[in-house]
Structure 1
Amino acid sequence: MNLLSRLTNDVYLMLRRPPRQQYAALCYRIKKKQGGVEILVLTSRDTGRWVIPKGWPMEGKQAHTVAAQEAYEEAGVKGKVEKEILGFYEYQKKLSNGMNVLCKVQVHALEVEELIKNFPEKNSRRLEWVSVEEAASRVNEPELKTLIRSFGKRISTVIPAKI
C-alpha cells in the first residue's frame, strides 16, 4: 500500500463513527398442534419494511430487558426473553434529522407467552406470524436473515422437549 492510500485509510478510520447500539427481540412461538416455530415480524413505522422489535438502550436496563420492552411496545407481546445473546446484525438507520447512522443490533430470543390487545404502537404497525423461512425472506438485512435461519435450526432441535 502506498503512503497516500495508507494515510487516506487512517484518516477514514479516525473520522468514522462507531455503530450506534440497539437491542432487539426475535419473538417466536411454538405451534403446539402442528409442531414447528413461527416468528413474529412487523412493519417499521417509517418505511413499512419488515423488521423485528428493536430500540435504543434504556438507562438502568439490561440489554435483554430492553429487547423485551421493545417487543411489548412495538408488537404487544410478552414472554420469556433469553439473557444470552442470540447474535448481531447491522443496518443503516435514517434519523429524524435525515442523517444515516450505522446501527449494530444485539438480538435476544423471546418466547411469546402472551399477546396484548392494546399496546403503545398498535396503530402504527402491521404484525404477522410467519414461518422461519418466510421471516428470513421478508427482512432486508442479510445478517438478520442468517440469524433467523440459524435460530430456526437451533429451536427445531428442542421443540419436541417443549411440547
Structure 2
Amino acid sequence: MAASSSSKEEVVVVVVAAARKGRLRQRYDGEYRLVAGCVPYRVVGGELEVLMVSTPNRADLVFPKGGWEDDEDVYEAACREAMEEAGVKGNINRVSLGMWVMRSKSSQSGGETSPRGGACKGYMFALEVTEELDRWPEQDTHGRRWLSPADAFRLSRYGWMREALAALLDRRRLLLTPPPQPEPEPTPRPSEYPGVYGLAMLKADAAAADRAVALC
C-alpha cells in the first residue's frame, strides 16, 4: 500500500484598512470645512523628491489631503490621508507649511452649496516618508508618483500647491545651510587686562626690555 503524502500551501492574507468615508465626523470652522494634508518627500542620492497622487476623472496630480475629523488632531488627519491616498507613512513635521482657503471638489461639480460655495480651510505639513505600502486603501483611485521639485511645480494645478512646495523647499534649504561661524575674537593686549594678570604681563615685558639693553 503506497504511503500518501500531503502538501501544505502557505496562505498570506494582506489586510488593507478601509478609507474613511462620509462626513459624519467632519470638523468645521463656521462655513469652512477643515481639511489636512501633506507634501510627502524623500531624499535619494542627495536629491529631494516629492510624492503626488492622481485623482479620479482628472489628469492632474495633487498632494494627499482630505477631511479633518473630530476624533483626531490635525497631524493624525494629515498622516491618515497620506496613508489612504498615497500608501505612505513617515515622520510629520508639526510646523505647518501654511493654511490655505480652497474650493472643495464637490462644490466645483455643483454637488455642494454653502455661504462660501463649499470653501475649505486646508492645513498642509511636510511628511518625511519612511515606509511605502504595497497596497493602500485608495490605490484603485489614487496612483502615486515620485517627482523632482521642478516637475512637481510644473504639474501643480493650484497656487496653494506651489506655495506649499515652496515652503517645504525653503525649510529644507535652511536645514541644509550651515550656520555662520562667529569670527574669532582678537587677542587682547596686556594693557587691556586690569589687576594682577595685567601687572604680571607688564613686568614680563619690562624684564625682556632690560635683557635686550644688557645685550647691546
For the criterion TM > 0.5, the same-fold answer is yes
In structure 1, what is the equivalent of residue 130 of structure 2? 113
Amino acid at match of 1:158: L
| Residue deviations 1:40-89 (CA, integer Å, cap 9, x gap) | 01112343421111111122211011100110010000000122211122
Amino acid at match of 2:65: K
Equivalent residue runs for 1:1-163 within 5 Å: 18-31=31-44, 33=45, 35-95=46-106, 98-99=111-112, 101-159=118-176
CA distance in 2, matches of 1:29, 1:160: 18
**Range 49-58 or range 146-155, more displaced:** 146-155
**Range 145-154 or range 89-98, more displaced:** 89-98
The 8 Å contact of residues 24 and 53 in structure 1, kept in 2 or not, is answered as yes
SS in 1 for 2:80: helix
SS in 2 for 1:122: coil
Q: How many residues matched?
A: 143
Structure with larger RCO (C-alpha < 8 A, sep 6+): 1
Q: What is the Cα-based RMSD across aligned positions, in Å?
A: 2.1
Following superposition, the deviation at residue 93 of structure 1 comes to 1.5
Instruction: Name which one, 1 or 2, has greater alpha-carbon Rg.
Output: 2
The 8 Å contact of residues 49 and 146 in structure 2, kept in 1 or not, is answered as yes
SS in 2 for 1:65: helix
SS in 1 for 2:75: helix
CA distance in 1, matches of 2:57, 2:166: 26
The 8 Å contact of residues 36 and 156 in structure 1, kept in 2 or not, is answered as no
CA distance in 1, matches of 2:82, 2:37: 8
Which ranges in structure 2 are unaligned for 5 or more consecutive residues? 1-29, 179-216
SS in 2 for 1:125: coil
Runs of 4+ off more than 3 Å = none
Q: State the identity as a percent.
A: 27
| TM-score, scaled relative to structure 2 | 0.60
